[in-house]
Structure 1
Amino acid sequence: MQTRHIQTDRLTQHILEAGSGPLVLLVHGFPELAISWRPQVEALAAAGFHAVAPDMRGYGAAEKPGDRSAYGVLDLVGDLVDLVHALGETSCTVVGHDFGASVAWHCALTRPDLFRAVFCLSVPFQPRRAKGPPTAAMTAISKRLGVGDLYINRFQPDDAHHAFDADPATALRRMFYAYDGATPDSRQSTGFLPEGVSLTASIADDATLPPWMSEAHFEEYVAAFAADGFKGPLDWYRNLDANWAATAFLQDARIRVPAGFVVGERDPVRHYAGPAEAGLKDWLTDLRLQQIIPGAGHWIQQERPDEVNALLLDFLEQAGR
């Protein structure tokens, strides 16, 4: 594996890559980096693919535009379109995790000519709601259920990232712990927060690193977020309503390229993203693979790399990629 900067139309991007052959792009989520995909980059390269994991806009060694409006989903899709072209390719498979899954789904939805197959982890495809912007809907659902605010709504204020910036190591440790499959049910986060309690404050003070994460690996995350902060990553979330407004043209659109979806049985995202196994086939017209991994949590490609790698390679074979 190697890392390098690569100039695209709009940004200087930073990528982790290995191998040669058909291109597979790996899109991380929050609070992750390209290094979240090391096991997959290695396995894909060994299987005859060119695996490329970028630090996404606002993260790690990538460029970080200052304006929050620069982090809309169509900008993020555009970065991946630019990256494919800069790598000298005309098509690829796109793989996404967490918010990176939402970006990957939109890649396949908007540019099926370029993104010829899509494989996502943890966050299922969620079609655009016709009834209004998502943050208002999240608030209404939380109030109806009486479960407090969804953490995504707490990310909306312009200063929400300050709490994370104040102590990146504690924030990262608590988030990795609270969404991990090895964490007991009573200590996992549900994503819903009591009034006046932040996401990190809702997690136990004695949170430890997940079993799969070494101190050295954790320090890579801490160094990256301590250097550049959480503003860019949270700006992804602050564009949710703007994304809804910008994607009216995608209302009722379906993904028609070969698709796969994998989720951990104990992924807390299932508390608020809906039952991932229900209804996907209605929106993914060529759903080739759908799998729940028993006992796994949210950081699935790092928690269960062997299982995820096997499923991904099987999907690529089925999709003819």
Structure 2
Amino acid sequence: MEPLPSSVLPADVRGRILPGINGLDIHVLEAGFEQPGPNSPNRPAVILFHGFPELAYSWRKVLPALGAAGYHAIAPDLRGYGRTTGWNADYDADQIGFRFVNLLRDAIGVLHALGHRTAEAAVGHDFGASVASYAALARPDIFKRMVLMSAPFGGPAAVPFDTAGKPPAPAAPDIHAAMAALPRPRKHYQWYQSTREANENQWHAKQGLHDFLRAYYHYKSADWKANKPHELKGWTAEELAKMPTYYIMDLAEGMAETVAKEMPSAAEIAANTWLPDSDLRVYSGEYQRTGFQGGLNWYRARTSGRVTPELEIFTGRTIDQPSTFISGKSDWGNYQSPGALTKMQQSACTNMKQIHLVEGAGHWVQQEQPDEVNRLLLRFLKS
């Protein structure tokens, strides 16, 4: 597999393949990769983890700013994505490789391959925020700071406490049955994305893959004016159903049909400056080749409960490194896990410096408002 060609990248960003890392050949984009001279100090590393359905390419507007500021900025195509190879795309394959502990092993392997024993910061967006969170939680000696975008960290899975001699806690209500029983029957997108049909529905969407991605990105951005998120009162069907259908879907529809209803007009597409069609073609070209199953395996690992027991070893542990949270003001991702944003500030992260909700951005904050993200990110790193 060849790296992304320079023709689709900023002038000071390059792609390359790092072979033999935890069973993978990992494709990375990087800036600030110049070899230090005899009078130049080694550049501190900043590693950036993307979300779904994205790629290392989603950091194309951030990498140059970090490189210009003196950092070695590194964005891998994560396990299951893009030009990283060695993962199994079979739905029936063992999903053990997509455990968060193993994803963290991938990240450490990337740093070591590039000659870094530490990273100045772990930066994660969307699902990549989970990797950044557990990187900071598990290896504070490696990851000196943490930046989360669009997905707050509410703390590690908890082990039941003070239970001896007491009756067992009642079973949690079946949230999926409750959503299906609403007057407008609904389902949670993470459990849909874990189904066998999810990959085919999106990869071979009736509207075409390129238009599927166009609608998906539009629907979750600030361009979709109905994105006016707010805190939810709790993990109940009625509260969750207040979110748009890209999170709480109509029960009978797949994701391709869900986002097709919000396809932007030709005029809106032409006016889009943060994701012009030339940039979107990079995404659609990559996913046309790979499909979505690799990324969907992350959902499968989470919803199956397989990742929870090993993460319980961190019960009660906090993230104590300097941290910050940057997200779009129009991003429902801030609230999709009720209470997580508050827990992140009050208990999970003891050194959370600031929460930034950026105007004019939805879920894709580093693409929709890169100048403000770069300003906030560099100010935090230099503080």
Alpha-carbon distance change, 137 to 81 in structure 1, aligned in 2, over 3 angstroms? farther
Counterpart position of 2:314: 250
- Which whole-Å deviations, capped at 9, do the CAs of 1:282-320 have from their partners, x for residues lacking one? 1111112221112320000000000000010011012xx
Identical residues among aligned pairs (%): 32
**Aligned CA distance change for structure 1 residues 101 and 138 (closer, same or farther; 3 Å):** farther
Among residues 279, 283, 291, which one is paired with 2:343 in the alignment?
A: 279
2:324 is matched with which residue: 250, 255, 260? 260
Q: Give distance in 2, aligned partners of 1:37 and 1:307.
A: 14
Secondary structure of 2:198's aligned partner:
coil
Amino acid at match of 2:284: V
For 1:163-312, list aligned pairs within 5 A. Answer: 163-167=201-205, 168-185=209-226, 189=245, 191-205=247-261, 207-208=263-264, 209=269, 210-240=272-302, 241-274=305-338, 277-281=341-345, 282-312=347-377
| Residue 14 (structure 1) aligns with | 27
CA, structure 1 residues 40+232, in 2 after alignment: closer, same or farther (shift >3 Å)? same
Where in structure 2 are the equivalents of 1:143-182 lying within 5 Å?
148-167=186-205, 168-182=209-223
Can you give the 5+ residue segments of structure 1 that lack an aligned partner in the other structure?
A: none
Comparing 166-175 and 217-226, the one that deviates more: 166-175
Indicate the residue corresponding to 2:110 in structure 1: 83
Deviation for aligned residue 1:181: 0.8
Superposition deviation, residue 190 in structure 1: 5.2
The 10-residue stretch of structure 1 (146-155 or 215-224) with the greater mean CA deviation from structure 2: 146-155
Task: Identify the residue that residue 139 of structure 1 maps to in structure 2.
Answer: 176
Code of the residue aligned with 1:75 in structure 2: it is N
Q: CA deviation at 1:141?
A: 7.3
Cα deviations across residues 188-225 of structure 1 (Å, max 9, x unaligned)? 64511121112221224461355411111000001100
Map 1:4-43 to 2 at 5 A.
4-10=16-22, 11-20=24-33, 21-43=43-65
Could you tell me which amino acid in structure 2 is paired with residue 57 of structure 1? R
1:50-102 CA-to-partner distances (Å, cap 9, x unmatched) read: 11111111111001411333212111111001111111111001101000011
Partner SS state of residue 272, structure 1: coil
Deviations 1:116-167 (A, max 9, x none): 11101000003234479xx987637746987721100111223321111213
State the secondary structure of the residue aligned to 1:48: coil
Give the AA of the match of 1:30.
Answer: F
Partners of 1:170 and 1:181 in 2: how far apart?
A: 18
Q: What residue is the counterpart of 1:111 in the other structure?
A: 139
In the alignment, is the contact (CA less than 8 A) between 2:48 and 2:73 conserved in 1? yes
Equivalent position of 1:96 in the other structure? 124
CA distance in 1, matches of 2:142, 2:283: 31
Structure with higher helix content? 1
Q: 1:279 to 1:192 in 2, by over 3 A?
A: same
- Total equivalences in the alignment: 316
Query: 2:344 is aligned with what amino acid?
Result: L
Higher mean C-alpha displacement, 288-297 vs 141-150? 141-150
In structure 1, what is the Cα distance between the partners aligned to 2:156 and 2:28? Answer: 30
| Contact persistence 1:178–1:189 (CA under 8 A) | no
Greater Cα shift, 13-22 or 163-172: 163-172
Alpha-carbon distance in 1 for matches of 2:336, 2:47: 27
CA RMSD of aligned residues (A): 2.4
SS at match of 1:160: helix
Gap regions ≥5 residues in structure 2: 1-12, 34-42, 161-168, 229-243
Offset from partner CA, 1:267-287 (integer Å, 9 cap, x none): 122341236642323111111
Are the equivalent residues in 2 in contact too, given 1:191–1:271 (CA < 8 A)? no
Residues 30 and 256 (structure 1), Cα distance of their counterparts in 2 relative to 1, 3 Å cut: same
Q: 1:170 to 1:258 in 2, by over 3 A?
A: same
